[in-house]
Amino acid sequence: MPTVTRREFLKVGVAGAGAVAATGLGFDIAVAESTRVKQNLRIAGAKELHSICPYCAVGCSLVAYTRQKSNGTTELLQIEGDPDSPVNEGRLCPKGATAMQLAISPRRVESPQYRASGATGWKSVSWDFVLDKIANNVKASRDASFITTDGNGSTVNRCEGIAFAGGAAFSSEEGYFATKLMRGLGLVHLEQQARV
């Protein structure tokens, strides 16, 4: 007499219970055919996650549809407007609707691009290079355009050679920090891009 392990017994029991429930009203042919179809379906689990559009100050809610790949990485499958959000009620502008390209576009630029003075093309450079370059240019422009007094002899201590534009997706804290930093440098031309 063949021996049946506890695991095998439970497996048969669960499968049997499922089959009984599936054929409760006797649609056995449909169940048999559907079982065959089910075995050939390529189904995978995914998760939906809330997110916010990164582009502008409206802050539209997004639903990001992601799937865990077998190598442990997360694959982004779909981004759409969140219909439950009172901000956008499921709608997205053409730019926000393509937010998925930020993550998956093969044409996405993945490193800073630099075109030297007089050069005809761009080249990829490191973030360290870019940050040093910006710091040097800010210093040079500020040194060259900083004035301590205006035409009337009044003390102004301002930098007229640099303007600053804040990004639309700035948080309040980022906006505060940027303003503080720019005022510290003496900038007077500050602007915020608050819409698309």
Partner 1 sequence: MAAILTTQDVWADRRHRVKELRARQGFARQLLDFYGALLAVQEKAYVEAASVRPAGRNLASYCADVVVPGIVDVSLFAGPDQLRSQLLHRLETEQPLRMIEQWIAGDSQAMVDRYLARASLGPVLEALDAEARATCGGPRDARHCPECGGPPQLSYFERSADDLATGPRRLLCARCGASWGYPRMTCPGCSEDESTKLPVFSEYGTASGERGSVVRGLPADPVADPVHAVFPHVRIEACESCRQYVLSIDLATDRAAVPVVDEVAAIPLDLYARERGFTKVIPNLMGF
Applying CB under 8 A, the residues found at the interface with partner 1 are 18, 21-31, 33-38, 41-50, 63, 65, 76-84, 89-94, 97-101, 104-105
d(CA 93, CA 39): 40
In the complex with partner 1, which residue's Cβ is closer, 13 or 18?
18
Provide the 3-class DSSP secondary structure of residue 62: strand
Tokens linked to 50: 């809330």
Q: Closest approach of Cβ 74 to partner 1, in Å? A: 12
In the complex with partner 1, which residue's Cβ is closer, 89 or 174?
89
Q: Closest approach of Cβ 10 to partner 1, in Å? A: 13
Q: Closest approach of Cβ 26 to partner 1, in Å? A: 2
Q: Give 94-122 as a DSSP string.
A: HHHHTTTHHHH-TT---S-EE--TT-SS-
Cα angle 66-87-83, degrees, rounded to a multiple of 5: 45
Task: Supply the DSSP symbol for 178.
Answer: H
Chain length of the chain: 196
Q: Report whether 111 contacts 125 (CB < 8 A).
A: yes
d(CA 96, CA 61): 10
In the complex with partner 1, which residue's Cβ is closer, 21 or 119?
21
In the complex with partner 1, which residue's Cβ is closer, 80 or 160?
80
Q: Closest approach of Cβ 175 to partner 1, in Å? A: 28
In the complex with partner 1, which residue's Cβ is closer, 105 or 126?
105
Residue with tokens 């709608």: 91
Q: Closest approach of Cβ 94 to partner 1, in Å? A: 7
